[in-house]
Amino acid sequence: MEKNKIRNNVLEKVKYALKSVRNTDYDKNYSLSYSNNLLKSKTNDVSKFKLNLEKVNGNVIEVNDVVDIIDHISNILKINNCTKFSISNSNNLIKLGIKSHLLEEGFTLIDAYNKIELAESEVGITEANYAISDTGTIVLFAGIDNPRSISLVTPVHIAILNSNYIVPNIFNLFKIFNDINLLKSIPSCITFITGPSRTADIELNLILGVHGPKELYVLVY
């Protein structure tokens, strides 16, 4: 009987704690506004995002002019001695003209929709749909215009991020999905990426790039 009493007390405390968490207003310190269904966050914190991503060996480059994005991408390929690239077909990346510019510079385009050919690609270029400043995480929606493999297979991953889509934490992110009625249209696969691929052996020696990109660059504009 005593054991049952103790067990019941513990369960009641757990239920109370869960109820408290469920009712917590995670967004009370943040003010968000929306325009044309696009997120406009008053709490954008590029510096915090950069700090947290660089803590886990990621690279963040702040770009003042979107025109400079192409030059930065070209430099990244050259720094890493890469000649082959793959790129998603999102509308924003098409408008930037990244693919045609890199081809003009002599880089080779690898078909992102051919898994066999993609294995030969050295750099994957994608758009980041959102980012979380608290953890330095980028969020990618997979789809027909943005194959998930581009960000996972190539040794170097370059993500283009609009600073208006940086949110403070994951609770804000899921609130946004709900508030702007994206729950019916977001893809079944959403990838959360925090830094390059990391793994450790049995001796806890950290190694980068074993199961994914060894280098991650995020260009924030």
Condensed to tens digits (0 to 9), the pLDDT of residues 9-32 reads 655 655 554 444 433 333 333 334
What's the confidence (pLDDT) of residue 185?
74
What's the confidence (pLDDT) of residue 21?
40
CB atoms within 10 A of CB 211: 10
What's the confidence (pLDDT) of residue 8?
65
The topology under which CATH files domain 44-220 is Rossmann fold (3.40.50)
Please state, in angstroms and as integers, the Cα–Cα distance from residue 73 to each residue in 109, 154, 156, 197, 204, following that order: 14, 15, 11, 20, 33
Going by C-alpha positions, the residue among 77, 63, 176 that lies closest to residue 129 is: 176
Domain residue ranges of the chain, discontinuous segments joined by +: 44-220
Cα R_g (the chain), whole angstroms: 21
- Report the percent of the chain where pLDDT is more than 90: 60
Cβ atoms 102, 78 nearer than 8 A: no
Which pLDDT tens digit goes with each residue over 82-122? 999 999 999 999 999 999 999 999 999 999 999 899 999 99
What's the confidence (pLDDT) of residue 188?
78
For range 162-190, the mean pLDDT:
85
For range 171-177, the mean pLDDT:
90
What gap in Å lies between CA 101 and CA 93, rounded to an integer? 12
Q: Residue 90: which residues within 8 A CB-CB, separation 6 or more?
A: 126, 127, 145, 146
Residue in the block written with tokens 């690609």: 121
